[in-house]
């Protein structure tokens, strides 16, 4: 199961919250890689995780550099498409 958990703090075993974090990050990353509109899909993950609103779920974007890069690239693609029209 190595590699399936968010990395715990040194000297501590993985916590259930680490598993939730890993699930959320992999779900959002999968949406971006598959070309889905993550903003449109976010309400599903927000509900599943029991968050009050998408704002609480979007925290995962800033917590993981890969997700931040994917989100930034998507915004850049959208901006470029709008400018060419």
User: Residue 2's pLDDT band (boundaries 50, 70, 90)?
Assistant: very low
Residue that the structure tokens 């990353």 belong to: 29
Instruction: Give pLDDT, residue 1.
Output: 38
Q: Is 44's pLDDT higher than 80?
A: yes
74 Cβ partners below 8 Å, 6+ apart? 32, 38
Amino acid 34: pLDDT: 93
Query: Comparing C-alpha atoms, which of 19, 21, 41, 28 is closest to residue 70?
Result: 28
pTM higher than the cut 0.75: no
Confidence of residue 17 (pLDDT cuts 50, 70, 90): confident
Give Cα separations from 59 to 22, 55, 65 (angstroms): 13, 7, 12
Could you tell me how many helices (H) and strands (E) the chain has, helices first?
5, 0
pLDDT of 6:
55
């Amino acid at each position: 199961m190595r590699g399936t958990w968010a990395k715990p703090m040194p000297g501590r075993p993985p916590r259930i919250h680490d598993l939730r974090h890993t699930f959320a990050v992999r779900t959002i990353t999968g949406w971006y890689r598959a070309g889905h509109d993550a903003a449109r899909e976010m309400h599903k993950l927000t509900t599943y995780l029991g968050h009050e609103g998408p704002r609480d779920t979007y925290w995962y974007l800033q917590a993981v550099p890969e997700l931040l890069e994917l989100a930034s690239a998507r915004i850049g693609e959208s901006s470029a498409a709008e400018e060419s029209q």
